[in-house]
Amino acid sequence: MTGGRRPLILVGAGGLGRETAELVRAINAQGPGWDLLGFADDDPALAATTVAGLPVLGSIASVASQPVDLAVCTARPAVGCSRRPIVAGLGLTPDRFPTLIHPEASIAPSTEFGPGCIVFAGVVATASVVVGAHVVCMPQVVLTHDDQLGDYATLASGVRLGGGVRVETEAYLGAGALVREGVHIGPAALVGMGAVVLNDVPAGEVWAGVPARALTASIAEAVGA
């Protein structure tokens, strides 16, 4: 522990991991924050390298036994929500996964977060928002009154939810998607970039367009991957 800061390792050294490293640095600029040790990643090409100025310390499994907190930073829609099996495989108690909130997010005191969430700059949560575990909210996401986000949901940059929207476990909302008030996004559903969602999206379906409708396109195509 350095200067009273709790040690933290980021799981995943890809784009989301590098963005989370910058988020942690922003938190540290405001106060005690975290002793950011580096990344854990299973890509053998990254072993013993440096990413975003931080060392890749080893595989994901290798850090589970270390006395540190972990932030799981993976979010590729083309392969589903990878955070869930990673967290399950680590087998750690929820208190080992801190929720990281950028100091430039605007979060109402009535907002509730589960463990392991990552909330970037410009995110707004207005009133009585409930966020589950290991949810990722990218920059400029807007959550209005009474929204509910299930565990492992991912909201890409610029997503806007009307009041009372329910986003279920492992759902993925692409950048700039707009969701009308009261809509239900089912488990593992995917909403494409720029979609305008006016109706409920069933579990596991891919919806895109204005207004959004069900597609047969692949997940990667729907989110522009």
pLDDT in single tens digits along all 225 residues of the chain: 556 789 999 999 999 999 999 999 999 999 889 999 999 999 999 988 999 999 999 999 999 999 999 999 998 765 467 899 999 999 999 999 999 999 999 999 999 999 999 999 999 999 999 999 999 999 999 999 999 999 999 999 999 999 999 999 999 999 999 999 999 999 999 999 999 999 999 999 999 999 999 986 555 555 554
Residue 225 pLDDT: 42
Q: What is the DSSP string of 200-218?
A: -B-TT-EEETTTTEEE-S-
Out of 102, 134, 145, 184, which one is annotated catalytic? 145
Superfamily of domain 100-209: Hexapeptide repeat proteins (2.160.10.10)
This prediction's pTM: 0.92
For the chain, residues classed under CATH 2.160.10.10 are 100-209
Structure tokens at 136: 């990722």
Q: Examine the residue annotation and report whether 145 is marked as an active-site residue of this protein.
A: yes
- What is the β-pairing status of strands 69-72 and 112-113? unpaired
Residue 164 pLDDT: 98
| DSSP character at residue 94 | G
For the chain, residues classed under CATH 3.40.50.20 are 6-74
HSE-CB for 57 with a 13 A CA cutoff: 19
Name the residue type at position 212: A
Residue 172 pLDDT: 96
- CATH class for domain 6-74? alpha beta
Name the residue type at position 126: T
Residue 92 main-chain phi, psi, to 5 deg: -105, 160
